[in-house]
Amino acid sequence: MADNSIHTDLFSPTKLGEIELANRIVMAPLTRSRVNKEGVPNELNVTYYVQRASAGLIISEATNISAQGRGYAMTPGIWTEDQVEGWKKVTDAIHLAGGKLVIQLWHVGRCSHVDLQPNREAPVAPSAIKADGNVYTESGIQEVSMPRALRIDEIPGIVEQYRHAAECAKRAGFDGVEIHSANNYLLEQFLRDSTNHRTDQYGGSIENRVRLALEVVEAVTSVWSSGRVGIRLSPVTTEVGNTPLDSNVMATYSYLIQQLNKFKLAYLHFVEGTTGKNRTVPENVDLGTLRSLFDGAYIGNNNYDFEMAISRRAEGQVDAVAFGRPFISNPDLVERLRYGIKLADVTNDAYYGNGAKGYTDWPKANSF
């Protein structure tokens, strides 16, 4: 069958840093809560990822870097040998299918519950400020717990958690790593003055609040070539926890992005608007300006449809486009977009849990 007649290079090969992609369609990280209590990927996860291997790049579901970093039940980890072996089965199968997979490294910070923490300890955060929202635990949905502020002598240990996770990811056979500094999890909690009220060298000024994110990037790039490391940012999202924005989004994120340029990262993965909800941006924020400050490749994310992806790519606004929810119900999303085949819809009850149902039982179209 002939390719879609619409002129676009979204289906052409490209590179993000050192990572070679068969096309510019990226599968966004999607938490699906389908692993065991030990956070070890299983054969069901292998099937799920391989079904979607035609994406130019798959960014894994957010993956906990430590037991402390965990904020939701049945989410995978990348700090134990069993987890490494579980992920190795996934990466081997993806590569056999011709796909590429990077792992998203995750520490939720304050967005957790004591039931999910070692010894039922309080979650950690830059400051003892409670999030507004719920998390999914083995006992069901529960309100987030009150966090405690990290002591300054504990922060090197947080950086080491990221470094160790990056090392484990390398042994697990991933094509790269993405540092999750978005969606108001730990690193973004440090970035924003709404969630960071510290008075030491990790709080107060923009330079101080950005410090931890940059130390994490430095640690990860000590393990991986910088051309195989990306970062995800979400300057104007209020998700998760209905978190207030930074008081000066443009100043904080402009400084951060310019500092990130020193590392020559593979890509910047940008949430354009409120994660998973809308693309509304405050009047005093210009995401285009922030995007233009980054020297490397740019992945646009958040409520893209195919027409928007084509348009923004044609305008040179994106190097690749990340699709999230459409990949849940359309494992063959790339082919459906390419040949103009109707997309299957997904409902909320398929997102989390339920084993294979709503996870690996979506049929592929057979019209190409």
Paired tokens of 282: 């405050």
Paired tokens of 313: 């790519």
Four-point Cα dihedral 220, 224, 56, 365, nearest 10? -70
DSSP 8-state code for residue 2: P
DSSP annotation string for 51-97: HTTTSSEEEEEEEESSSTT--STT--BSSSHHHHHHHHHHHHHHHHT
Residue of 185, 202, 255, 298 marked active site: 185
Q: Which residue has the tokens 């030990």?
A: 38
| Sign of the Cα pseudo-torsion (196, 258, 28, 44, in order) | negative
Range 221-226 contact pairs with CB under 8 angstroms and sequence separation of 24 or more? 221/263, 221/265, 222/163, 223/163, 223/166, 223/167, 223/170, 224/166, 224/170, 224/176, 224/177, 225/18, 226/17, 226/263, 226/264, 226/265, 226/266
Report how far residue 79's alpha carbon sits from residue 359's, in angstroms, rounded to the nearest whole number: 25
Report whether the peptide linkage leading into residue 240 is cis, meaning its omega lies within 30 degrees of zero.
yes
Asked about 185 being catalytic, the answer comes back as: yes
Closest C-alpha to 90, from 199, 165, 173: 173
Instruction: Quote the radius of gyration of the chain (alpha carbons, Å).
Output: 19
Report how far residue 176's alpha carbon sits from residue 341's, in angstroms, rounded to the nearest whole number: 31
Query: Residue 206 to residues 124, 198, 211, 244, 255: CA-CA distances in angstroms?
Result: 21, 12, 8, 16, 8
Query: Which residues are marked as active site?
Result: 185
